[in-house]
Structure 1
Amino acid sequence: MSSASTSSAAEPRRPAPEPDGHPGPLRRAAATVRDGLRATGAALWDSAPSTEPLLADDPRRWVRRLPVLVAAGFIAILIPVTVRVLTHDYGVNGAVAGALGVAQSAPLLLAVTRPLRAWWIVLVADVVGAVVTMAADPGHLAPWTAVTIVGYLVLCCALALREGRRTLLGIWLVTVVAGLVLGAFRGAASQDTGLVLTVLSGAVLLLGTLLRERAEARRRLVEQETISEAERAQRTLLEERTRIARELHDVVAHHMSVITVQADSAPYRLRGLPASAEEEFGAIATSARESLTEMRRLLAVLRSEGAHGERAPQPGLDRLPHLVEATARAGIPIDLSRPELAILRQLAEVTPAVDLSAYRIVQEALSNVMRHAPGARTEITVTLDSTHLLVLVVNGPSTESPGPLESGGTGHGLVGMRERVRLVGGTVDAGPLPDGGFRVAARLPLVPKGSGTA
């Protein structure tokens, strides 16, 4: 036999690696178990303590105080019961029984803020108590007494409400190992309680984990719904502002067109103008035309989302009779107060922005009546005082069941009304009435804020 073959025979046989170079299934399983035990140990030793009490996030005051009250109640019951059981049933010295009762029960108050730290203390105390009871009287329940099991289960409830799954798994595994090791030294005549604590602690930890995760999922869902509602309200507001901007484009474009025509025709209407004046009018006309071009580009941006807007001239208060007639045909009885001739002349001098806003407010109010109070009698009042245009829309309670929502409005109801009123510097008051109806009252300045007077 050659030397090469001798040395190869002397070497220990190693498992052949798999064809792809990865370790075999046994090695992978062992590595998984090793990593799991290492992570569990790290979770038990390195878990950062929390200083916030259990249920501290609950808005109800009595719920926030409940963990402390429950822990104090169990401590007040378990300490004297533990002392009595250890002294009378197991014959343990009174001083030792008192120390064990305090060590096993008092940490429940610490568990309100630091359940994992309390568990370490209780675990050591329970193990010492098991050794003491088995040495004093090996014929009774072993290794855990009934009082020990109750206190440990209460502590498991606090742990399940605070710690993660990996930490809770490590706690349960330590409980199982401690029960098996101590159970091996119990007396033959004693009844084994290690299995009881193993099953009950596992059930409590599992149930508490499920309840906590369900509560966290509901809390995250509420937070997400709150965020979505805020985003939806913001999107509605931006859409309404964009809609108003598209409508006001026609109003502003009309004024710019008038400026352009007046500036272009000034040299022909006004004879004898100096050359400098004609150049000034020409510059004004050029600037107005450039402004109109930029406004068309702005309108194209506002309509880029697919909203094509209305091509017809924007309506005003002079269109109210037509709006009332169309709404009445839909089954809404409406009374429109008609202003006197003098007021009509004043209405003719209302700025286009106020005129359009007043019309849209009435339109949205009637649209809401059709949606939410079909068949309700509605009264529309338009009046003027020295400085403001007053618009009042009042409807009574519904006489029919609400049908499918109509889309006759141009905006988003009260949001659109408030934005239009804010645009011209007015105020609006909208709300339900005691009889079940609804009231919308708008007060619009005849001269919007920030505008000059001739």
Structure 2
Amino acid sequence: MSTSSQPPLAGARKRWQRLLPYAAVIALTALFVPVTIASLKDQYGLDGGTAGALAVAQAAPLLMLARRPLWAWWIIFPADIAGALVLLGLPAEKYDVWPWTPTALIAHLFVLLALALREGRRTLVLVWLATGAAGLVLHLVSPERSNGSALLLFLIGAVVLVIGAALRERGVAQRRLVEQETISAEERARRTLLEERTRIARELHDVVAHHMSVITVQADSAPYRLKGLPPEAGEEFEAIAASARESLAEMRRLLVVLRSDGTEGERAPQPGLGRVQQLVEATVRAGLPAELSMPAGLTGIPPAVDLSAYRIVQEALANVVRHAPGAGTRVSVRSDGAHLTVLVVNGPAQPSGSLPGPRAPVETSGTGHGLVGMRERVRLTGGTLDVGPLPDGGFRVAARLPLPPSSPPRNGNPEDS
């Protein structure tokens, strides 16, 4: 069995280098066919037809050395044996070489070299032993006719096989070294990317955490610094401080994941549907009329689906706050035992003059990362996502996440939160 389907120099960059093996075998064939015919006719006295047939069988398969050297050996080796048996019926001359003729011996060495450059050690040993066994049998058939060419091919063939195998293994080692260097370069690039992500996360944490900390301190201290604040304003500052602290906690969890490949971040509790009520309340405090419809006893949700549902609601509400301030919003979470359905629908944005108090201007363009993140979370859980505008100018986000049959959720009383 050949260890490689590619001829020598097949991976060379230049075309003329890749064509060298084919040019070499064509030249060998063009040389050995006529020389073998002439040798068999002139030196051994064979007639032209027999000499031509043996020459073609012994030399023409050299054309196969570039791609199928083992096939060439299966043709040339029996042809050499047949030639030795044919010559055995002719009278011996003083300078005749038998059982292998000079042309057959040299051509066979080229075959062995091609085999050594392509085949494994087991195949080479079997070929070498077969060559030696055939020469030994022919020598025993006519010891007085044999004059050492069988032993010569056996010994020189061993040298050729060893040299060719060494060259082949050296080439294999070089290719593996190049592959390993390529893999090492990719690993270095991947490690550099991870280090850069960690550095960016750390810098982002340092910058954003500072401002969030300032917001938290200012919101907590506002009732003490500003005299005469109404109770509603005090509650608003308290909600702002709580949201800032929660954002800081999530940012630190993300930083832990990026720094430790997720092994430590996974120990921190992840948000889920149990905190959707808090999201809606925070949205209402931001001036967005929102209502939630979710069974009170919704349990048994797998952690991945639970987290994905929470993030989808979180991103959808954040988009409403940014792009449609004042729009009425409905959040619905339902389960039928096989799927968890998350629906967030908002109406059109309200005119800025109709909103109580100052509001941030509506964003006219975005990065699109929110919807991309939703699609990725839904895809990872094997669900479906349907998003798009509504005829009245609102927007709809509908996610359907599959639930495993082994742990169906249990709905409590269908009371809205």
8 Å contact 2:58–2:76 — kept in the other structure?
yes
8 Å contact 1:138–1:186 — kept in the other structure?
no
Paired position in structure 2 for 1:65:
19
8 Å contact 1:143–1:186 — kept in the other structure?
no
How far residue 187 of structure 1 moved from its aligned partner, in angstroms, is: 6.3
Paired position in structure 2 for 1:248:
204
Paired position in structure 1 for 2:127:
171
Which runs of 4 or more aligned residues in structure 1 lie more than 4 Å from their structure 2 counterparts after TM superposition?
A: 48-51, 268-274, 296-305
State the AA in 1 paired with 2:201. Answer: A
Identity of aligned residues (%): 57
Rounded to whole Å, the distance in 2 between the matches of 1:245 and 1:260 is 21
How far residue 237 of structure 1 moved from its aligned partner, in angstroms, is: 2.2
**Superposition pairs of residues 50-129 of structure 1, within 5 angstroms:** 52-129=6-83
Rounded to whole Å, the distance in 1 between the matches of 2:253 and 2:157 is 71
8 Å contact 1:50–1:114 — kept in the other structure?
no
How far residue 109 of structure 1 moved from its aligned partner, in angstroms, is: 1.0
How far residue 247 of structure 1 moved from its aligned partner, in angstroms, is: 2.8
How far residue 268 of structure 1 moved from its aligned partner, in angstroms, is: 4.7
How far residue 93 of structure 1 moved from its aligned partner, in angstroms, is: 0.9
8 Å contact 1:266–1:281 — kept in the other structure?
yes
- Structure 2 unaligned regions, length at least 5: 262-365, 368-417
Paired position in structure 2 for 1:209:
165
**Superposition pairs of residues 14-413 of structure 1, within 5 angstroms:** 47=1, 52-139=6-93, 140-186=96-142, 188=144, 191-268=147-224, 273-299=229-255
State the AA in 2 paired with 1:182. Answer: L
How far residue 202 of structure 1 moved from its aligned partner, in angstroms, is: 1.1
Rounded to whole Å, the distance in 2 between the matches of 1:132 and 1:49 is 35
State the AA in 2 paired with 1:148. Answer: A
State the AA in 2 paired with 1:84. Answer: A
Equivalent position SS for 2:141: coil
8 Å contact 1:160–1:208 — kept in the other structure?
yes
Rounded to whole Å, the distance in 2 between the matches of 1:48 and 1:74 is 22
CA spacing shift, 1:222–1:51, aligned 2, 3 Å = closer
State the AA in 1 paired with 2:135. Answer: G
How far residue 300 of structure 1 moved from its aligned partner, in angstroms, is: 5.2
CA spacing shift, 1:56–1:301, aligned 2, 3 Å = closer
8 Å contact 2:113–2:160 — kept in the other structure?
yes
Rounded to whole Å, the distance in 2 between the matches of 1:51 and 1:143 is 33
Q: Residues 294-342 of structure 1, C-alpha deviation per residue, up to 9 Å, x if partnerless? A: 444555556669xxxxxxxxxxxxxxxxxxxxxxxxxxxxxxxxxxxxx
Equivalent position SS for 1:106: helix
8 Å contact 1:246–1:302 — kept in the other structure?
no
8 Å contact 2:65–2:72 — kept in the other structure?
yes
Paired position in structure 2 for 1:443:
none
CA spacing shift, 1:301–1:54, aligned 2, 3 Å = closer
Rounded to whole Å, the distance in 2 between the matches of 1:74 and 1:304 is 63
Paired position in structure 2 for 1:367:
none
Rounded to whole Å, the distance in 2 between the matches of 1:49 and 1:101 is 29
How far residue 58 of structure 1 moved from its aligned partner, in angstroms, is: 3.0
CA spacing shift, 1:156–1:179, aligned 2, 3 Å = same
CA spacing shift, 1:79–1:302, aligned 2, 3 Å = closer
Q: Residues 340-370 of structure 1, C-alpha deviation per residue, up to 9 Å, x if partnerless? A: xxxxxxxxxxxxxxxxxxxxxxxxxxxxxxx
Paired position in structure 2 for 1:418:
none
CA spacing shift, 1:98–1:224, aligned 2, 3 Å = same
8 Å contact 1:267–1:273 — kept in the other structure?
yes
8 Å contact 1:142–1:186 — kept in the other structure?
no
Q: Residues 2-31 of structure 1, C-alpha deviation per residue, up to 9 Å, x if partnerless? A: xxxxxxxxxxxxxxxxxxxxxxxxxxxxxx
- Structure 1 unaligned regions, length at least 5: 1-46, 306-448
Q: Residues 133-191 of structure 1, C-alpha deviation per residue, up to 9 Å, x if partnerless? A: 22223231100111001110111111111111001100000000110111223363662
State the AA in 2 paired with 1:186. Answer: S
TM-score by length of 2: 0.58
Rounded to whole Å, the distance in 1 between the matches of 2:16 and 2:134 is 37
CA spacing shift, 1:192–1:291, aligned 2, 3 Å = same
